Structure 1
Amino acid sequence: MEAIETTCTVALRDYPELPPRERMAAEGRYLRVLERKLGGADVVADALRAVMQLQESDGSDVSAEDLALAGQWTKAANAAREAGYQGLGEVDGAYFEVRLA
């Protein structure tokens, strides 16, 4: 399975029987919207790091800037998910996985 890469890797997971071309198009839409909403590829990576840090801690050691980035991530990821599923429809259990490259 192919994935779209920049500073992050996006992969559509658990979406059964989707041709590779459509999968790559969905991943591309997701990434483009995520980058547009957050302000670029570097900001996507920074926001993802902030979300990961927040998930791994009790929140007491997270900066105000990282908290703000995590909040922006949530909004951007919701918009990106809608764009990614455009023309496909959501499937129970399917999700977009975003990882640092």
Structure 2
Amino acid sequence: MNQAEFHFPMPAQALAPQQLTAPRLPADDEPLDFSDAAAAGQCAYTVRFLDYPHPTADIVKVAEQRFRRELERHLGDDVLRAQRAYVSVSEASEADLTKEEVILATRWVKAYDAARTAGYRDLGDTDEAYFDVRAI
């Protein structure tokens, strides 16, 4: 085979087109129901480790996993609610806040601090690095 044949191969013998048939599903196989998928997606969030001076993919991924695991251990399903409460508390006056928002914001501060400590473990120099939590 020369270069011309390699880069510009001649078409093989034309094959007769064949009729494709759809695979048959068992009679008891029902379509999937995604009606509750929107509700499950409301509590989804991402954690990113930013501004780390030595960004190796494995190190960053492990740090993000440790941070997320510790955050979920402290807050459970209330991660986004607690973060929103923290933002509300930091931006609003005391008269506008509910008791639940203040409690959730306090839980967020404690959980974020514990998660940050877990995420920074074994990383060394983390002066400007931080974890960013965002809703999807």
What's the TM-score, normalizing by structure 1?
0.84
Gaps of 5+ in 1: 1-5
Instruction: Please give the residue correspondences for 1:67-78 in structure 2 after superposition, counting only pairs within 5 Å.
Output: 67-78=102-113
Identity level (%) = 44
Partner Cα separation in structure 2 for residue 65 and residue 90 of structure 1: 37
TM value normalised by structure 2: 0.64
1:93 equivalent in structure 2: 128
Kindly state the Cα deviation for residue 7 of structure 1 after the two structures are TM-superposed. Answer: 1.8
Report runs of 4+ in structure 1 exceeding 6 Å deviation: none
Shift of 1:8: 1.8
Q: Name the larger-Rg structure.
A: 2
Greater length-normalized contact order (CA 8 Å, ≥ 6 residues apart) = 1
SS in 1 for 2:134: strand
Matched, 1:22 2:22: no
- Point out the structure with the larger strand share: 1
- Alpha carbon RMSD of aligned pairs, Å? 1.4
**Where does structure 2 lack aligned partners over 5 or more consecutive residues?**
1-42
